[in-house]
Amino acid sequence: MRTSALQLTENFAPSDKALVPIVEKVVHDESLTAEDGLLLYETTDLWSVCSLADSVRTKLHGNNAFYNINRHVNYSNVCALSCKFCDFYRKKDQEGAYAHSLEDISNEATQARLAGATEMHIVGGLHPWLPFSYYTQMLSTIKEIAPDIHIKAFTAVEIVHLARISKRGRDGIAGIASVINDLVDAGLGSLPGGGAEVFDERIHDEAYRGKIKGEQWLDVHRVAHELGLNTNATMLYGHIETREDRIKHMLTIREEQDRSITSSSSGTFQAFIPLPFIPGVSELSHLPGPSGIENLRTIAISRLMLDNVPHIKAFWIMQTLHMAQHMLQCGADDIDGTVMWYDITKVESNTTHQESSAEDLCRAIRDAGFVPVERDTLYREIERDGKSWSVR
Ligand code: V47
C-alpha cells in the first residue's frame, strides 16, 4: 500500500534541510518559485525531490496511472527546417524522405479502428509542397473510417505552416484561429504538445533557428484553448540549455495555464511532457543527452513546479518503459500509449516499429505499484470489451 500524500508530506523530513521551506509550500499548496526549482535541481537529496513529487501526484490521482491505446502517425519527414537536435527530418530528394499518401493514412485509420484504438496522434515535418487540402482530407478520411477516434494532430509550428500555405500567414492570430477552425471542421480534436523545445531566444537561435519562437508557440496554444481545444505542452531538454532555462520554460507554461484557466477559454493544457534529448544522428549527436538521474529529476521537478497542469507524462518511447516505471514513482502519472509506429526518435529500436501491447503497459504500471487506467485523449476513463470501447 502506498503512503497517502498528506501523511507523507506532514511527516516529511528531507535530509537536505534546505528543502524544508519547499516541503512546507507543497504541503500548503503554494506555488514554487524559480529559486525553489533551481534548488530542486541542485540538491543531492534526489530521494526527497522524488518523494515530494510522488506525494503531489498521489494527491491528484491516487494510485491511478494512465495509458491509452493509440497510434502515432508521422505523415512526412520532409521538412523546410533543419533543427540541429532533429534526427527525423529529410530534404525532399534526400534518401529516406517520404510523404504518406492519403491512402496510407486511411489504411492506418482502418488498422487503428480494428485494434480498438481511441486516439491517432499525427505530426510531421513542414512539407514545402503538400497543399492545405492534404491535411483537411487526412482528418476527414480518418473520421469517415473511424468516427470515434480522437485525432490529436499538428504541433504549433505545423499550424503556423498551414496558415502560411493557406495564405493566412499574414493574418496573425485571426489566421491561426481560422486554420484551427478549418481543421476542427475536418475532424481535429486537440493539439499535441510538440515543438515547444525550450522557450529561450539564445537556445532558439543556436539550435532551431527558423522555427517559430516561444511567443508564437504560446499564441497557437492560447488560440486553441480559446476555441475550446485542449492541448499538451512539451519541453525538449538535455542539449545546450541550462537548468535555469528549463525552470523558466516550466514557469512560462504555468503562467499560460493560469491565463487559460482564469479566462473564458474552455481549453487548457492537459499534460506536460518533458522530452529528453535523444542525440541519434542529429547535428548535436556529439552531445551525450541527459542521464537517467537527470530524467528522473526533471520529471519530479515538472510535477512540483506545474501545480496547475493535471498530468505529467513520461513518454515511454523516449524515456524507455523501464525508466517510465521509475518515473511513475517520481511524479509522472501517464506513460502515453501503445504507439505502434514512431519515427521522430529511436531509443531501443532501429525501426519505426516501436510498439507496446496494452498488456505490457498494464504490467509495467502494476509492477511500479499503480493501478493501470485506460484513458482517452481527454483523460476520460475507458470501458473496454476487447476491441470495442466506450467512455465510462
Ligand atoms: O516536437 C525532436 C521532439 C517532439 C528530438 O502531446 C526530440 O501527448 C528528443 O511532442 N530527441 C515530438 N526529442 C514528440 C512530442 C510528443 C510525444 C509524445 C506525446 C506528446 C503529446 C507529444 O519531439 C518534437 C520535438 O520537440 N524531438 N527531435 C530528439 N532528437
What are residue 74's DSSP bridge partners? Answer: 123
Would you say residue 277 has pLDDT above 50?
A: yes
What pLDDT, on a 0 to 100 scale, did the predictor assign at position 225? Answer: 98
262 C-beta neighbours (distance < 10 Å), count? 8
Nearest CA to ligand 1 atom 13: 277
345 Cβ neighbours under 8 A, 6+ residues apart: 87, 88, 278, 280, 317, 318
Looking at residue 205, its amino acid is: D
CA–CA separation, 23 and 11 (whole Å): 10
Any atom of ligand 1 within 6 Å of the Cβ of 193: yes
Mutate to test the pocket of ligand 1, among 82, 83, 234, 321 (most ligand atoms within 8 A of CB): 234
Taking the centre of ligand 1 as the mean of its atom positions, its distance from the CA of residue 323, in whole angstroms, is 17
Taking the centre of ligand 1 as the mean of its atom positions, its distance from the CA of residue 275, in whole angstroms, is 6
C-alpha cell at 104: 496510407
pLDDT in tens, 172-182: 999 999 999 99
pLDDT in tens, 96-111: 999 999 999 999 999 9
- Write down all domains in the chain, each with its CATH number in brackets: 5-57 (no CATH), 64-391 (3.20.20.70)
What is the spatial order of strands in the sheet that 150-153 belongs to?
70-74, 119-123, 150-153, 188-190
Helix 46-61, helix 20-27: angle, nearest 10: 0
Cα dist from 182 to 72, 159, 316, 364, whole Å: 22, 11, 32, 39
Percent of residues, the chain, with pLDDT higher than 70: 97
Would you say residue 43 has pLDDT above 80?
A: yes
Would you say residue 44 has pLDDT above 50?
A: yes
Looking at residue 156, its amino acid is: A
C-alpha cell at 110: 482502418
C-alpha cell at 47: 530521494
C-alpha cell at 85: 537536435
Taking the centre of ligand 1 as the mean of its atom positions, its distance from the CA of residue 192, in whole angstroms, is 9
**Atom nearest to 192 CA in ligand 1:** 6
DSSP SS3 for 318: helix
Mutate to test the pocket of ligand 1, among 281, 345, 352 (most ligand atoms within 8 A of CB): 345
Mean pLDDT of 75-79: 98
Please report which helix (H) or strand (E) contains residue 125, including its range: none
DSSP SS3 for 373: strand
Nearest CA to ligand 1 atom 12: 194
Please report which helix (H) or strand (E) contains residue 165, including its range: helix 156-165
**Atom nearest to 231 CA in ligand 1:** 6
**Atom nearest to 196 CA in ligand 1:** 26
Task: Report pTM.
Answer: 0.97
Contact 324, 335 (CB under 8 A): yes
Nearest to 120 by CA among 98, 91, 93, 153: 153
C-alpha cell at 361: 503497459
Contact 295, 327 (CB under 8 A): yes
* Average pLDDT of the residues of the chain: 96
Any atom of ligand 1 within 6 Å of the Cβ of 282: yes
Q: Report CA dihedral (45, 46, 49, 53) to the nearest 10 degrees.
A: -160
What pLDDT, on a 0 to 100 scale, did the predictor assign at position 1? Answer: 43
Any atom of ligand 1 within 6 Å of the Cβ of 192: yes
C-alpha cell at 221: 496554444
Contact 334, 374 (CB under 8 A): no
Taking the centre of ligand 1 as the mean of its atom positions, its distance from the CA of residue 283, in whole angstroms, is 16
pLDDT in tens, 336-376: 999 999 999 999 888 999 999 999 999 999 999 999 999 99
Contact 52, 12 (CB under 8 A): yes
Taking the centre of ligand 1 as the mean of its atom positions, its distance from the CA of residue 278, in whole angstroms, is 10
Contact 332, 312 (CB under 8 A): yes
Any atom of ligand 1 within 6 Å of the Cβ of 356: no
